[in-house]
């Protein structure tokens, strides 16, 4: 039904029986980045048109010219010659960034789609020039690492060539008035951080007007910390969702379903990121959105000093329930982020992908279609963010791989929330109970 959409790993709603599956298969469908003045359409894996064998119906229907550089299927004329999206992107990056490559093997490396390993950049660029690619056709005014220019258009995919005789239906592309989804997420996150500073700052008034983040402080009051995490944070997340301009037309009931799914997944992205960013991996600190950290290595002291008396659990019980999930997330999510040297924009992009999840349980078809459309724009924004990266496709794949670990940690967090709610380990709150309940019920069901 959604074959015109970008295919990325699904972030399904938080039901323990639903897990992120076939990650490797779906990542294989990440398209090459095209960085000439067009954006590539993304062809789903289930339409194997590009690899058609000779004499098959699809091959007889159309013949795709070969890329003049590597021999792969061309996606059109790029900078004056037939080229695939990957080679045209490589040529543009090289010209815009004024890169100079040196071949270590005498300048005679094979440049072929079937060649093993990474293509020699020096020989690949030489082949681009030999094939006739025109440097003057590259638009230098486009930011190599930044935003879309106003003239960016979607590039026709090979699938459209099958029906070229009939008028093409307009694709749901990003309009100039709609703007970048990622930029809106960044703006809303900035507003969120300012509100956190107002709510969580434990210093004097002057601190509220200084630039910069909250200081990282150690846990000293369990009850206050839990109030911030499970009373204030969900409401800040609700505002984050409500004020997203791309979701303004979404029905409130559908928006609430997105929110229930998002609030836990966002925490499963942000806490491991903060833990890595502020040195928690080395110090054994688990750092929360309110910038309070729990010292895992010396957890027993919180019970000896009475800080955790309100939890109604022993140190050993809490260690088995909560601390083990913190340590697991540090070993997986935080470590993945560290290895990628993940920057804040990428973290916010991950949060955006968890929000714009068309697989959330009980979403109506119209809402799903709209979320798919907005998610497509976000994926293009992320690709645009990586435009100046040496290997943008690989970076995108590595970013998406984090989502599998995020999903696992979010499910564990949801289990812990059920325990907190069942045994009344925090003051009762209707929103907290609603988040724990999740999207298990249809709109017409009686909620117990």
Contact 266, 407 (CB under 8 A): no
Instruction: Kindly list the structural domains of the chain, giving each domain's residue range(s) and its CATH number in brackets, ordered by start.
Output: 34-42+62-154 (3.30.50.10), 181-437 (1.10.565.10)
Distance CA 283, CA 216 (A): 13
What 3-state DSSP class applies to 285?
strand
Contact 379, 8 (CB under 8 A): yes
Distance CA 362, CA 95 (A): 48
Distance CA 35, CA 392 (A): 11
303-326 burial: b if 16+ Cβ within 10 Å, else e: beeebbebbebebeebbeebbebb
What is the enclosing helix (H) or strand (E) of 13?
A: none
pLDDT tens for the 448 residues of the chain, in order: 444 554 444 444 444 434 333 344 344 444 444 444 443 444 334 444 334 344 444 444 446 789 999 888 888 888 889 998 888 888 888 888 888 888 887 888 888 877 665 678 889 999 999 999 998 888 764 443 344 333 333 333 333 333 333 333 333 444 444 689 999 999 999 999 999 999 999 888 888 888 888 999 999 999 999 999 989 999 999 999 999 999 999 999 999 999 999 999 999 999 999 999 999 999 999 999 999 999 999 999 999 999 998 888 899 988 888 899 999 999 999 999 999 999 999 999 999 999 999 999 899 999 999 999 999 999 999 999 998 788 888 999 999 999 999 999 999 999 988 888 777 767 778 888 888 888 754 443 333 3
Sign of CA dihedral 307, 308, 310, 312: negative
Quickly tell me which residue has 């996606």 as its tokens.
75
- List, in order, residues 6 or more apart from 30 with CB less than 8 Å away: 7, 8, 393, 396, 397, 400
Helical axes 233-242 vs 430-437, angle rounded to 10°? 70
């Amino acid at each position: 039904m959604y074959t015109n959409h970008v295919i990325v790993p699904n972030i399904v709603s938080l039901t323990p029986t639903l897990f992120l599956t076939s990650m490797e298969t779906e990542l294989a469908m990440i398209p090459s980045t095209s960085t000439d003045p067009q954006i590539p359409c993304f062809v789903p894996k289930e339409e194997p048109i590009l690899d058609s064998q000779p004499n098959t119906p699809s091959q007889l229907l159309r013949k795709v010219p070969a890329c003049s550089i590597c021999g792969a299927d061309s996606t059109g004329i790029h900078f004056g010659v037939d080229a695939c999206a990957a080679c045209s992107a490589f040529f543009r990056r090289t010209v815009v960034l004024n890169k100079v490559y040196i071949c270590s093997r005498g300048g005679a490396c094979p440049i072929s789609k079937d060649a093993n390993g990474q293509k020699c950049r020096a020989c690949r660029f030489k082949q681009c020039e030999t094939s006739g690619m025109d440097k003057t056709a590259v638009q230098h005014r486009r930011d190599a690492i930044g935003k879309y220019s106003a003239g960016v258009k979607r590039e026709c995919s090979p699938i459209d060539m099958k029906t070229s005789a009939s008028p093409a239906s307009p694709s749901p592309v990003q309009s100039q008035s709609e703007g970048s989804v990622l930029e809106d997420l960044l703006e809303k996150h900035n507003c969120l951080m300012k509100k956190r500073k107002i709510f969580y700052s434990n210093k004097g008034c002057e601190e509220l007007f200084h630039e910069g983040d909250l200081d990282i402080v150690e846990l000293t009051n369990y009850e206050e910390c839990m109030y911030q995490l499970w009373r204030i944070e969900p409401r800040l997340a609700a505002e984050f969702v409500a004020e997203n301009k791309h979701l303004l037309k979404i029905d409130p009931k559908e928006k609430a379903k997105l929110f229930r799914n998002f609030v836990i997944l966002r925490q499963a992205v942000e806490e491991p990121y903060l833990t890595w960013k502020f040195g928690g991996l080395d110090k054994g600190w688990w750092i929360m959105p309110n910038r309070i950290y729990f010292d895992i290595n010396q957890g027993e002291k919180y019970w000896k000093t009475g800080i955790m008396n309100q939890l109604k659990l022993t140190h050993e019980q809490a260690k088995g329930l909560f601390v083990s999930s913190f340590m697991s997330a540090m070993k997986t999510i935080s470590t993945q982020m560290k290895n990628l040297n993940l920057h804040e924009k990428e973290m916010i992009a991950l949060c955006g992908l968890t929000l714009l999840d068309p697989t959330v349980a009980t979403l109506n078809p119209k809402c799903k279609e709209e979320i798919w459309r907005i998610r497509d724009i976000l994926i293009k924004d992320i690709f645009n963010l990586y435009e100046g990266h040496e290997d943008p496709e690989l970076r995108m794949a590595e970013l998406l791989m984090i989502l599998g670990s995020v999903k696992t940690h979010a499910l564990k967090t949801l289990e812990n929330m059920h325990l907190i709610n069942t045994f009344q380990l925090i003051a009762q709150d209707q929103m907290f109970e609603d988040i724990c309940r999740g999207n298990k019920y249809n709109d017409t069901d009686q909620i117990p």
